[in-house]
Amino acid sequence: MPSTTPSPTTRKEALLLRRYEIGHVLGQGSFGKVYVARNVKTNEQVAIKVIDKEKILKGGLIAHIKREISILRRVRHPNIVQLFEVMATKTKIFFVMEYVKGGELFGKVAKGRLKEEMARKYFQQLISAVGFCHSRGVFHRDLKPENILLDDNGDLKVSDFGLSAISEQICGDGLFYTFCGTPAYVAPEILGRKGYEAAKVDIWSCGIILFVLMAGYLPFRDQNIMIMYKKIYRGEFRRPRWFSPELSRLLKRLLDTNPETRITISAIMEDKWFRKGFKHTKFYFEDDKIFSLKDEEVDDDCIAYASDQSATESESESDGKRRSRPMSLNAFDLISFSPGFSLSGLFEDGSEESRFVTGAPVFKIVSKLEEIAKVVSFSMRKKDCRISLEGSREGVKGPLIITVEIFELTPSLRVVEVKKKAGDKGEYEEFCERELRPGLRPLMHPGTCGPKRTVSAPE
């Protein structure tokens, strides 16, 4: 951080929206820069991606930005860089991200191949993160060492979801058709331009990364990119002599040019070479909200997305007690609920994230959730207007964890957001059908029953 005392004008620019002290530039892209910054209240270091709003409007990328926010809200995992909050002014959009200090994994590989134990550890963490993304319907599509960061503890963090896709984008035939990715890491089926399964594309890229970690160079290389593409398409590469038989067998399955027979995430986790020293990651994020600005913290020009009040403090009650008040929704919250803010149905079929409107007070909603949790022997944790329901038994993908968050839409209306945080999708749908849907139906606001309608956030 600069040690000299800045002028009043510089000070206003350096202290972003009265919350973050901006430091040096970490990187620069087509639509803005990334800065290191300090939260003046908590003293925590963060990375802030500053996006030029005019550029994304001219480039027609508003939908892209909305999708990236939606994706980052879905994939909260210890081995994925976190998005803390989103803010905006008339001219800029700010992504406040976790600051990962250890640099890119590419920096380690550039010095030469890694020891097998270290390469295995990174690969295990990578597969854990990618598998979690896939379970949440998110596909990265640009996995490479440059998009993987290392923290102070030497743990891996997947970043840069700019080219990611979500399951809702899949065409009717179950495939994607967008040509994307980095040449040396692109899967052969993308080169064939006949449609591809995004999950299988990510697995191919993971295979390339594992090869690079262990060999210190790429499996498919050539100065002529078309020749390199031919090698990728044919799967032509040589394994170094120091690769163990177990590693070679795994790589052969990872870099299988036929996506139909290519190894799956679950099969990778059962592989003998992979399982050595592997421990399943168990985690819980106490706070799953991407916060918006409070009204008193907004500068005069900060009206595009963050001008509405979003109170998080407790308010005084007449009996002298203090009760949590739900966060108010502003326009950017509506954007973050992409692909739409549904006010019509309760628990849409096949969705892992649902919302409904209610006129019931917060204590009634919480009381009803407590009743449901008691009936099914779920443990319940509450922090302000965020509730977590956790199953007592290990399911197919671990215990079922459901989060419920209550927002204030108007003084008399609240939005209740319910989503699966962990566990099997089928178990979640069954729980919603048998317990949550019947239990919460009486709280649903009458005005939301009827034809489906969507409220879109203004661009």
Residues annotated as binding site? Answer: 49
> Per the omega criterion (within 30 degrees of 0), is the bond before 339 cis?
yes
Residue 3, sorted as left (phi over 0), alpha (psi -120 to 50) or beta, turns out to be alpha
Phi and psi at residue 83, to the nearest 5°: -100, 120
CA-closest candidate to residue 213, choices 124, 118, 79, 113: 113
Let me know how long the chain is. Answer: 459
Q: Beta partners for 32?
A: 51
C-alpha separations of 316 from 104, 313, 319, 429, 434 in Å: 48, 10, 8, 38, 37
The per-residue DSSP string of 76-114 comes to --TTBPPEEEEEE-SSEEEEEEE--TT-BHHHHHTT-PP
H-helix or E-strand containing 429? helix 425-431
Q: Residues of 245-262 as b/e, b for ≥16 C-beta within 10 angstroms?
A: eebeebbebbbbbebeeb
Distance CA 210, CA 271 (A): 14
What SS3 class is residue 407? Answer: strand
Q: Which token pair is 294?
A: 């409070």
DSSP per-residue letters across 350-398: T-SEEEEEE-S-HHHHHHHHHHHHHHTT-EEEEETTEEEEE-SS-BBTB
Binding residues for ATP: 49
Burial 93-113 (b: 16+ CB within 10 A, else e): bbbbbbbbebebbeebbeeeb
Could you tell me if 286 and 299 are in contact, meaning their C-beta atoms sit under 8 angstroms apart?
Answer: no
Which amino acid, 88? A
Nearest by Cα to 81 from 47, 119, 36: 47
Instruction: Determine whether 160 is an active site residue.
Output: no
Interatomic CA distance for residues 323 and 145, integer angstroms: 47
Name the E strands within 160-199. 165-166
CA separation for the pair 215, 112 (Å, rounded): 8
Specify whether the CB–CB gap between 368 and 396 falls below 8 A. no
How far apart (Å, rounded) are the C-alpha atoms in residues 255 and 250? 9
Catalytic option among 52, 142, 160, 301: 142
Catalytic residue positions, numbered: 142
